[in-house]
Amino acid sequence: MKLFKVLVVAGVSAALLSGCGSNNNNAANNAGTAATTAPATEQTDAVTTASIVNQADAFTAAVSESGNWIVAILNDLTVDKDVVVAGEFHDKGDASAAIYRKLALYAQDADHKVTATYTLTAPKVTVQSENFRVQGGTIKGDVYVEANGFNLYKDATIDGNLYYASEDVKATAVIEGKVTGANEVK
């Protein structure tokens, strides 16, 4: 039975990573394993796998400075403490690529069709990583953006308030998705 679970998680991981994103935001083709975190490295040619998590502690570690450029959850997840998304990361873990970080709150098939969306529930999510994108699913709780380039993709929702550290930070944000509460500088 344990082998079956590992195979299911590996299959879901491969499907998620085969098309995690759109346009220039496809995830690395390497499939990660559930609840693992591969730290970003300083190597120019390195491509890191996603942190695919299903537990609160693994999630907070994955979005920390020592986490990965992309973090995905495989089910609804509740974190009882404030979450801080920190660190500088590059698209697909490649130091020569643009600064970019992504939270994938969905699963998809090999044809990039979203097969499930998930909810991340946390009292507060503070974004300190530049060019951070939330894609698919819902963040339930307030989001505080302190870094430039925040993106709430068109298929994502913040079920709470979205606050910016300054007008300059707000001016760099791209909000295509839905915010149920305030969307303002605070």
- pLDDT one-digit tens code per residue, 59-102: 999 999 999 999 999 999 999 999 999 999 999 989 999 999 99
**Residue numbers of the chain with a pLDDT score lower than 70:** 1-50
CA distance 183 to 162: 5
Contact 106, 87 (CB under 8 A): no
Q: Give the per-residue pLDDT at 49.
A: 59
Helix (H/G/I), strand (E/B), else coil: 143: strand
Query: What does the CA dihedral 115, 162, 150, 48 come to, rounded to 10 degrees?
Result: -50
pLDDT at 51: 84
Q: Are 149 and 169 in contact (CB under 8 A)?
A: no
Q: The whole model's pTM is what?
A: 0.75
Read off the tokens for 8.
Answer: 């299911």
